[in-house]
Chain A
Amino acid sequence: MSDLQLEIKHLIIEALGLEDMEAADIGADLPLFGEGLGLDSVDALELGLAIQKRFGIKIDAEAKDTREHFANVASLAAFVAARQSA
């Protein structure tokens, strides 16, 4: 597990107030929304905001591939890494 993945897991727990949960409980390929972690649409907005603030990147909520980037921690980390190096 990369440091970036771990940082994103902590960010998810902190930004979404996931009481009683630790980074180890969120697998890198666990689906974040619906089945899996069970996040909802308000979480999607909140997490998008937290990612933008923490990593200083812009996220287009309307873009088609945004949904894929937010599928799980692994895809989110890959997305952040790509944006940061761009």
Chain B
Amino acid sequence: MHFRIEQWRAWAPGLESLDDWRTWCAAPVRVADGQQQPDVSFLPAMQRRRLSRLARMLFQVAWPLAEAYPALPLIFASRHGETPRTLAILGDLARDEPLSPTQFSLSVHNAIIGQWSILRGDTSEMTAVAAAGDGLEHAMLEASMLLGEGAPAVLLVIAEEAPPAVYAPYIDDVPFPYAVALLLTPGDDWHLQLCTGAGQQAEWPHPLSLLRALCSGQPTLVHHWKNRQWLWSHNKA
């Protein structure tokens, strides 16, 4: 598949501006999570009150990219989704307490894209993907199909929230909470190809490795997950 990465934005605790990310990409470190909230003050208070931090992360990175497009299909990928919400619900169940309707209705994986659709008034096709360590590439596949169908642009957002402490021993692919948004358009700049082959797992989650490549102008990336080998190559025309 091939596409153009028109623009990107990212958020992590303490990493908000493009300069923050350039610095991080040059010398990546595990950033500390001080429970900072992404700024979504562009939304009225009554609209943002139900947004979890994961949802706020998506809105923060994606909103400016969507501004030029009244209708923009969205692919949202997250391996772990709203684990803090589902854990809260499980806790209520274990204590035999009634479930919060808000927590329950917003715990499903496509709740965030539903909120996005409502708040933007955009009824374009939107998809929520929960894939494993190569969720970025599976989301790219979804986006490429939409571009192939004729969409002038597709928004791709991949985000992970820090897992609650009780899950932390089982989750090793979220070094810190992060969200990456890519505005994709048809083009031949980037090629992404799937091969079979095992290899070493990348040090950072694939979306963060991609940001490093975008910042440094690195022309190729090889991402492995299980027996899947994804080859990214930038076509320097």
Contacts and interface: CB of A to CB of B under 8 A. Distances in A.
| A, B from the same assembly | yes
Interface of A: 16-21, 38, 42, 45-46, 49, 52-53
Contacts of B100: 46, 49
Interface string B41-70: 000011011100000000000000000000
A42 B101 contact: yes
A46 B46 CA distance: 15
B105 interface: yes
Given A19-B45, A42-B105, A45-B101, 17 more contacts: A17-B49, A17-B50, A18-B46, A18-B49, A19-B49, A20-B45, A38-B46, A42-B101, A42-B102, A46-B100, A46-B101, A46-B102, A49-B98, A49-B101, A52-B98, A53-B97, A53-B98
22 contacts: A16-B49, A17-B49, A17-B50, A18-B45, A18-B46, A18-B49, A19-B48, A19-B49, A20-B45, A21-B45, A42-B101, A42-B102, A42-B105, A45-B101, A46-B100, A46-B102, A49-B98, A49-B100, A49-B101, A52-B98, A53-B97, A53-B98
Nearest to A45: B101
B100 to A, nearest CB: 6
Nearest 9 pairs between A and B by C-beta?
A45-B101, A17-B49, A20-B45, A19-B45, A46-B102, A19-B49, A46-B101, A42-B101, A49-B98
